[in-house]
Copies of this chain bind each other. A is one copy, B any other.
Amino acid sequence: MQAYVFQNINELPFKTEINIPEIQDNEEIVEIKASALNHRDLWITKGQYPNLRFGTVLGSDGCVTLGGNTFIINPGLNWGTTEKYQSDRFKILGMPDFGTFAEYLHIDRTYLYTKPTHLSNEEAAALPLAGVTAYRALVVKTQPEKGEKVLISGVGGGVALFAMQFALALGCEVYVTSGSEHKIEKAKELGAKAGYLYQNPDWTKQLISDIGGVDVVIDGACGPTFNNLVKICNPGARISFYGGTQGKIDGLNPQLIFWRQISVFGSTMGSDLDFVNMLSLVEKYRIKPVIDCVLPFDHVHDGFRKMKEGTQFGKIVFSH
């Protein structure tokens, strides 16, 4: 079968012919109909991910068929027995296990979930990893209430957009930040009340002047400007972050946090239960993933290049 394989650091995955893997107990061979790209795939090709194994088929997200039925895959394998954190055996599909940038995949049938009926194969493939990450960071950790003000930083990325859609579905007022006016406009079309350009040094003052402050913040960047996210928090606010693309947090003012009873949650991926509950939310509110583009499976490299540029708004999907 054709597959995109991680061969070398700083090279795009190599398209090659490999054998369809053999299966073990509880496993199935499924045919991949659509897959989607995550930042994780890009970081792996840059060598910026732990426990890399050369020769691995990349790709964490997939919509697949088996025996005439269509499924989406929960890519979080071996979460473990407590909801609070993942076990030592936790791993994400697509490294070190073979992933979805291939024609076929072997997967434990535990991780197959019936595709939501309101989604196309491509939309379904866009959902799993970013969807469950957003669900846990937003819904499980910050427990947003109807009418609360939620700020989503860096809108345009997959997790940020799902967090926005989930918050809107739950009746929250959503605000966004971005480095691009164009992305802010697109977020407003999807339901955001307002957006702020984070390169504007006065954006926090502007937000406070506009709406007073926010009750929930969802961030994937951290870095030296994390303190800006604290400044805009109302008393009792919750901040949840699922990444740290801007690096270490500096200059964080503890008084701002303890005096206002603020909680800060680190969150990554999600449990099997989070995945099930995320699917329920998506089905209940008929949420459709925001898709930047659908590329043919032959054009996986174009997807990687587009993600490197950072211009996408929504998921980059491959139709197999």
* Chain A contacts to B: CB under 8 angstroms: 82, 84-86, 141, 222, 235-236, 241-244, 247-255, 257-268
Contacts and interface: CB of A to CB of B under 8 A. Distances in A.
Contacts of A268: 258-259, 261
B266 A86 contact: no
A265 B254 CA distance: 10
A235 B265 contact: no
Contacts of A236: 82, 84-85
Contact of A250 (B85, B241, B250): B250
Q: Which of A236, A241, A265 has the most CB of B within 10 A?
A: A265
Interface SS of A by simple majority: loop
A82 to B, nearest CB: 7
A218 to B, nearest CB: 12
The 7 A-B residue pairs with the shortest CB-CB distance in the complex, in nearest-first order: A244-B254, A257-B266, A258-B266, A85-B235, A84-B236, A222-B254, A249-B252
A78 to B, nearest CB: 14
Given A236-B84, A236-B85, A265-B263, A248 B252 contact: yes
Contacts of A266: 254, 257-264
Nearest to A247: B254
Contact of A244 (B141, B258, B263, B265): B258
Given A250-B251, A253-B248, A266-B263, A258 B235 contact: no
B254 A243 contact: yes
27 contacts: A82-B236, A84-B236, A84-B261, A85-B236, A85-B260, A86-B261, A241-B257, A241-B258, A243-B254, A243-B258, A244-B253, A244-B255, A244-B258, A248-B254, A249-B251, A250-B251, A250-B252, A254-B266, A257-B264, A257-B266, A259-B266, A261-B267, A261-B268, A263-B264, A263-B265, A263-B266, A264-B266
A80 to B, nearest CB: 10
A203 to B, nearest CB: 21
Nearest to A262: B266
A261 B267 CA distance: 5
A254 B268 CA distance: 11
A81 to B, nearest CB: 12
Contacts of A255: 244
A260 B250 CA distance: 20
Given A235-B86, A236-B82, A241 B254 contact: yes
A182 to B, nearest CB: 27
A130 to B, nearest CB: 15
Contacts of A260: 85, 266
Q: Which of A86, A235, A254 has the most CB of B within 10 A?
A: A254
Contacts of A249: 249-252, 254
Contact of A251 (B82, B242, B243, B248): B248
A19 to B, nearest CB: 34
A250 B248 CA distance: 8
